Amino acid sequence: MFEDRSKPRTEIKDLGEFGLIDFLTGDIELVQKSSEYGIGDDAAVINPEGKKVLVSTDLLMEGIHFDLAYVPLKHLGYKAAIVNFSDMAAMNALPTQITVSIGLSNRFSLEAIEEFYVGLKLACKAYNVDIVGGDTTSSKAGLAISITVIGLVEQEDIVYRNGAKEGDLICVSGDLGAAYAGLLILEREKSVFTANPDMQPELDGADYVLERQLKPEARVDIVKILKDSSIKPNAMMDVSDGLASEIKHICKQSKLGANLYEDKLPIDQKTWDAARAFNMDPTMFALNGGEDYELLFTLPQSEFEKLKDIPEISIIGYTTDAGSGINLITKNNVSTPIEAQGWDGLSDKLNDENTTDQ
């Protein structure tokens, strides 16, 4: 369950909206110099100090984006912040402020929402991000979370999806597919528990993939590494909907094709083991799993010498002319078209019409 029934329960209606806001935000201290005024008035005041302001919003709905049967509210709060921070990293920027709005039903006590905010504040503290506003309202359809993130960046540092050039190296940070492996394990254990509540979950050896699903991190460290290495990507985005979907976005925006090499895809051994346990292809996890929040980007081949010794980054292919399409070069050296099968925000499942032949 999402709430410990053994603890005292405080009804949110006993506080009212403003009492709830005061309770949840009373201990917030601003750390960003650009945050001139935060919570407490009709709007926050942010001083960009001559930089460009980037803004992005994510909406998370219970039953669509998360399942409280196995997602602790503390982890949910952390992840809700991280997915927004990742959007800033995808533009080669650092997040500086967020606003947080939540809709909640009377299923949730004050203690439950406090847990959500504990996770949210932990993420903000870890990434030096200020909570500067938001809203609360009642909901008849479970928990809804809307977070708007603000980032500041110099004009010359902004990276878009549409800047890739033919012949660019295609690179990705970290490893892929682990979050999807974690999701499958959680869904499996939920099904077992539903059938027999006396059964204990089998999670031994799954710590890494579970953490990648429940407590992901935004790769702002890669933004800093690239800057310190004097590397600016031509195009970049984060891997939230699956590698296949994201490379399709970059290619469409940049009017290019791409070749990805199966044997170059970074897949952790624990992800590989989980895929095999489900009798599934690890490559599918990497291509279509999503929620990895790694950074996918392209670079001129002239940057190879700077890039080759950065352990956090893998070169997985190169861009081609648009007429060549988007292809996976398999381990058997066979070229097969990649069709994006990633997450569709207006569906409750992966796009069935898009499949990847292996």
Residue 233 inside a domain? The answer is: yes
Residue 256's DSSP bridge partners are: 321
**What tens digit of pLDDT does each residue of 160-174 get?**
999 999 999 999 999
Residue 253 inside a domain? The answer is: yes
pLDDT at 119: 97
Calculate mean pLDDT across residues 167-196. Answer: 95
The answer to whether residues 257 and 322 touch, using CB atoms and an 8 Å cutoff, is yes
Same-domain check for residues 123 and 183: no
Q: Which residue did the predictor score with more confidence, 356 or 339? A: 339
pLDDT at 28: 78
Same-domain check for residues 231 and 274: yes
pLDDT at 196: 85
Residue 357 inside a domain? The answer is: no
pLDDT at 346: 46
**What tens digit of pLDDT does each residue of 279-319 get?**
999 999 999 999 999 999 999 999 999 999 899 999 999 99
Calculate mean pLDDT across residues 341-356. Answer: 45
Averaged pLDDT of the chain: 90
Same-domain check for residues 30 and 111: yes
Confidence tier at 197 by pLDDT (50, 70, 90): confident
Between 68-77, 196-205, 251-260, the lowest mean confidence (pLDDT) is in 196-205
Domain stop point among 108, 138, 157: 157
Same-domain check for residues 134 and 248: no
**Two structure tokens written together for 200:** 């204990």
Beta-sheet strand order (sheet of 52-61): 52-61, 144-153, 94-104, 130-138
Same-domain check for residues 193 and 331: yes
Residue 3 inside a domain? The answer is: no
Q: Which residue did the predictor score with more confidence, 198 or 177? A: 177
Same-domain check for residues 250 and 179: yes
pLDDT at 16: 60
Calculate mean pLDDT across residues 132-152. Answer: 92
The domain in which residue 260 lies consists of 161-337
Same-domain check for residues 42 and 122: yes
Residue 346 inside a domain? The answer is: no
The answer to whether residues 81 and 147 touch, using CB atoms and an 8 Å cutoff, is yes
CA neighbor of 327 nearest in space, from 318, 340, 336, 316: 336
Residue 171 inside a domain? The answer is: yes
pLDDT at 353: 35
Same-domain check for residues 193 and 321: yes
CB atoms < 10 A from the CB of 218, how many?
Answer: 28
Same-domain check for residues 197 and 257: yes
Same-domain check for residues 193 and 125: no
Does residue 344 carry a pLDDT above 80? no
pLDDT at 5: 53
Domain stop point among 108, 129, 157: 157
Give the burial string for 307-324 (b: 16+ CB within 10 Å, else e). Answer: beebeebbbbbbbbeeee
pLDDT at 356: 33
Same-domain check for residues 151 and 196: no
**What tens digit of pLDDT does each residue of 227-280 get?**
999 999 999 999 999 999 999 999 999 999 999 999 999 999 999 999 999 999
**What tens digit of pLDDT does each residue of 96-109 get?**
999 999 999 888 88
* CA dihedral over 184, 315, 310, 127, signed as positive or negative: negative
Residue 349 inside a domain? The answer is: no
Residue 358 inside a domain? The answer is: no
Q: CATH no. for residue 30?
A: 3.30.1330.10
Q: What proportion of the chain, given as a percentage, has pLDDT over 90? A: 75
Q: What proportion of the chain, given as a percentage, has pLDDT over 70? A: 88
**How many domains, the chain?**
2
Between 8-12, 85-89, 244-248, the lowest mean confidence (pLDDT) is in 8-12
Does residue 15 carry a pLDDT above 90? no
* CA dihedral over 115, 116, 121, 124, signed as positive or negative: positive
Same-domain check for residues 188 and 311: yes
Q: CATH no. for residue 222?
A: 3.90.650.10
